[in-house]
Amino acid sequence: HATTPRNDTPESACRPFDRTRSGLVLGEGAAILVLEELESARRRGAHIYAEIAGFASRCNAYHMTGLKPDGREMAEAIDVALGEAALAPDSVDYINAHGSGTKMNDRHETGAFKRSLGAHAYETPVSSIKSMIGHSLGAIGSLEIAACALAMEHGVLPPTANLHEPDPELDLDYIPLTAREKKTDVVLSVG
């Protein structure tokens, strides 16, 4: 499924990583980010929320709307982004997942995190803000980067709302229901 049949109850409809998940909920929103060279921001005394140290993009032609569960393409993007940032996989403190609430996507992401981070994937907290704000399509990337920057700023990782029954097939540290306090230096956002 793409969209969930639970749209009549939007406060509990989106359930990333939950055994009972059944699709995404569309959301609306926007975020504005000011990107600037680090030295320029320092010179003018700007408040720096975060630094984009590396980035990458990949896609697949496996299926028009489907994803392979092994997460190979996403893992390649993660590997390139970490390489560009000159960071080791075990430096990642938190993962902001795409977490749309579809079974196919959740399996794909879990596979990608394991491929890229190895054993460290099991020690790295993961959550999805889409469980709280829905999927705003084109705007979601900026919203998720803003959420990651605020998580780093305040030392609080957002929870995955509606994660009551974790899917046993998804065996990573998905943050359920309540925010988690944790200082983070390196955040991986794949949203």
pLDDT value for 191: 78
Residue type, 113: F
What pLDDT band is residue 5 in, cutting at 50, 70 and 90? low
Strand partners, 173: 125
Q: Check whether 10 has a pLDDT greater than 70.
A: no
More confident residue, 1 or 144: 144
Query: How much is the pTM?
Result: 0.91
More confident residue, 23 or 37: 37
**3-state SS track over the chain:** CCECCCCCCHHHHCCCCECCCCCECECCCCCCCCCCCHHHHHHCCCCCCCCCCCCCCCCCCCCCCCCCCCCHHHHHHHHHHHHHCCCCHHHCCEEECCCCCCHHHHHHHHHHHHHHHHHHHHHCEEECCHHHHCECHHHHHHHHHHHHHHHHHHCEECCECCCCCECCCCCCEECECCCEECCCCCEEECC
Q: Check whether 155 has a pLDDT greater than 80.
A: yes
Average pLDDT of the residues of the chain: 92
**Structural domains of the chain, with CATH:** 10-189 (3.40.47.10)
